[in-house]
Structure 1
Amino acid sequence: MEKKITQIAIYGKGGIGKSTTTSNLSAALSKLGYKVMQFGCDPKSDSTNTLRGGKYIPTVLDTLREKSVVKASEVIFEGFNGIYCVEAGGPAPGVGCAGRGIITAVELFKQQKVFASLDLDFVIYDVLGDVVCGGFAIPIREGIAEHVFTVSSSDFMSIYASNNLFKGIKKYSNSGGALLGGVIANSINQGYAKAIVDDFVERTKTQVVEYIPRSITVTQSELQGKTTIEAAPESEQAKVYTRLAEKIVEHKSSKVPAPLEIKELQEWATSWSDQLLALERGVVVGGNAAGI
């Protein structure tokens, strides 16, 4: 009987800290004793950098452009604490579909039965979440990932991207697509930021898996080409990532979210804009500034 491998897709708007979160999650899972592969699905091909001392690795698509036949072992590289690192890559600039690397890499690994041969516990796909492209939907649409998580801050465009992801999950949920595990709330340092994300997940019938504060420790670690788990294992930030990893291990049941329609989302955003303006002006509503 084959070992059960948990496959997770982590989506998020570009620049939101998705790859930082994913790499620290992978590192934390490895420190908990699990065998992990991180599968970078962004055409920038920088998902796994901090797992390998800041170094880039050859991508699946780049390697296929150089030779017609590729063994999976040629595009898998070992990173921090034995984590397997893969970068799907993208097409040459201005040519083809940005999600093509995911499609090609997943098919290659399926054919060569890579996951089972490496005795993996977790495969984590790090996927750009603000590009509407069939390739980027592969982990959801084909049910490759069992659970989907989205990294989001309280910024509107980040929440907008998450809401679009929810629409995709809902669309494919009736045909065997992956379901939503929840939101990883990133850069949450102000009380109002937590309140905004909490309100959004309540309205879309999902949950916050973990709140991750913005921390200079992360910046310091990444300047060294490392995750916080590797560079500052005793830091408070490392404890947050470890707690996230423990919750991911325990997570068993994902659900279909209830995305907001665009008009609902705009009205919701306007309401929060008014509340934040009141907060800035010190207006007291119901005993609290702007009710927050």
Structure 2
Amino acid sequence: MAKKTTQIAIYGKGGIGKSTTTSNLSAALSEMGYKVMQFGCDPKSDSTNTLRNGKYIPTVLDTLREKNSVKANEVIFQGFNGIYCVEAGGPAPGVGCAGRGIITAVELFKQQKVFEELDLDFVIYDVLGDVVCGGFAVPIREGIAEHVFTVSSADFMSVYASNNLFKGIHKYSKSGGALLGGVIANSINAPYAKDIIDDFVAQTKTQVIEYVPRSVTVTQSELQGKTTIEAAPNTAQADVYRSLAKKIANHTESKTPAPLEVSELREWAAKWGDYLLAMETGTIRTEQAGNL
């Protein structure tokens, strides 16, 4: 009997560090002895670059445009520590739905029973989270992913994107869709940033899985075309990613979040805005954040 493959979707606003987090998660899981596939679902097709020394790989959609039929092994490439890398790709600029690559790639891999043949432990979908519609919602809507995590900083637009994702999960949860594992809090250095994320997850009835600080080590590693796990394995930042990997590997119970309505989110953000302004002008002390 084939072992069960755990399928996870990592969402996040563009530029928030989603692919960086996902690639380091994949690398850390592979270090733990798991067989991992990273499935890039962003039309930019750069999710797996740091697992392959900065190199791009042919995407599923590009390959399909060149030939009528594609065998899965033509679009699967191995990277750091044997991680299987796939990029779904997107349509030609200005034509079609950007999420079509996910739909096409997932269907192709299902038909050819790729996950079973490769005997994978984890498939990690790296999905653009600015809009949760069409193809981008496939891992949630179709119940392909068992657990969903979102990468979010304390910036409002990042929180806004996460809240939108929660709305999508809430909608599809009633028909067998994926559930939320929690928030990966990224670029958390200032104390108030942690307070903002902690308050947001409390408001939406979810949890923080890991706090990931902003670090120059990540930038240095990516300039080499590598993950932090590969380029700087003995650093504190690499250990943060290892801690995240252990938590996700042991994660078993995901839940339906309680997203805020837009008016509620705006009101919540305004209170934090007033607080940060007061803190900057010296009329409030940092330790008072917990009383918001």
The TM-score, its normalising length taken from structure 1, stands at 0.98
Separation in 2 of the partners of 1:144 and 1:283? Answer: 49
Superposed counterparts of 1:110-259, under 5 Å: 110-259=110-259
Separation in 1 of the partners of 2:89 and 2:259? Answer: 30
* 2:38 corresponds to 1:18: no
1:287 and 1:62, CA in 2 relative to 1: closer, same or farther beyond 3 A?
closer
Structure 2 match to 1:264: 264
Structure 2 match to 1:76: 76
Separation in 1 of the partners of 2:39 and 2:280? Answer: 42
1:81 and 1:291, CA in 2 relative to 1: closer, same or farther beyond 3 A?
same
Separation in 1 of the partners of 2:236 and 2:282? Answer: 32
Query: How far did residue 291 of structure 1 move?
Result: 5.4
Query: How far did residue 133 of structure 1 move?
Result: 2.6
Structure 2 match to 1:97: 97
User: Any conservation in 2 of the 1:91–1:98 contact (CA below 8 Å)?
Assistant: yes
Q: Which amino acid aligns with 2:264?
A: E
User: Any conservation in 1 of the 2:103–2:135 contact (CA below 8 Å)?
Assistant: yes
Identity of aligned residues (%): 81
User: Any conservation in 1 of the 2:184–2:212 contact (CA below 8 Å)?
Assistant: yes
Q: Which amino acid aligns with 2:243?
A: R
User: Any conservation in 2 of the 1:283–1:290 contact (CA below 8 Å)?
Assistant: no
SS at 1:136 equivalent: helix
Deviates more, 1:274-283 or 1:209-218: 274-283
SS at 2:102 equivalent: helix
Please list every run of at least 4 consecutive aligned residues from structure 1 whose deviation after the TM superposition is greater than 6 angstroms: none
- The one-character-per-residue Cα deviations of 1:215-254 (angstroms, maximum 9, x if unpaired) are 0000000000000000000000000000000000110000
User: Any conservation in 1 of the 2:195–2:290 contact (CA below 8 Å)?
Assistant: no
Query: How far did residue 2 of structure 1 move?
Result: 2.0
Q: Which amino acid aligns with 1:22?
A: T
SS at 1:135 equivalent: helix
User: Any conservation in 1 of the 2:27–2:230 contact (CA below 8 Å)?
Assistant: yes
User: Any conservation in 2 of the 1:276–1:290 contact (CA below 8 Å)?
Assistant: no
Structure 2 match to 1:3: 3
1:33 and 1:277, CA in 2 relative to 1: closer, same or farther beyond 3 A?
same
Separation in 2 of the partners of 1:171 and 1:80? Answer: 37
Query: How far did residue 286 of structure 1 move?
Result: 9.9
Separation in 1 of the partners of 2:33 and 2:286? Answer: 49
| Equivalent residue pairs, number | 292
Separation in 2 of the partners of 1:72 and 1:279? Answer: 55
Query: How far did residue 76 of structure 1 move?
Result: 0.1
Separation in 2 of the partners of 1:287 and 1:154? Answer: 17
Query: How far did residue 281 of structure 1 move?
Result: 1.0
User: Any conservation in 1 of the 2:154–2:196 contact (CA below 8 Å)?
Assistant: yes
* 2:30 corresponds to 1:30: yes
Q: Which runs of 5 or more structure 1 residues have no equivalent in the other structure?
A: none
Query: How far did residue 282 of structure 1 move?
Result: 1.3
- The one-character-per-residue Cα deviations of 1:67-122 (angstroms, maximum 9, x if unpaired) are 00100000000000000000000000000000000000000000000000001000
- The one-character-per-residue Cα deviations of 1:146-187 (angstroms, maximum 9, x if unpaired) are 000000000000000000000000000010000000000000
Query: How far did residue 131 of structure 1 move?
Result: 2.2
SS at 1:137 equivalent: helix
User: Any conservation in 1 of the 2:132–2:168 contact (CA below 8 Å)?
Assistant: no
SS at 1:195 equivalent: helix
Separation in 2 of the partners of 1:93 and 1:289? Answer: 45
Separation in 1 of the partners of 2:93 and 2:166? Answer: 29
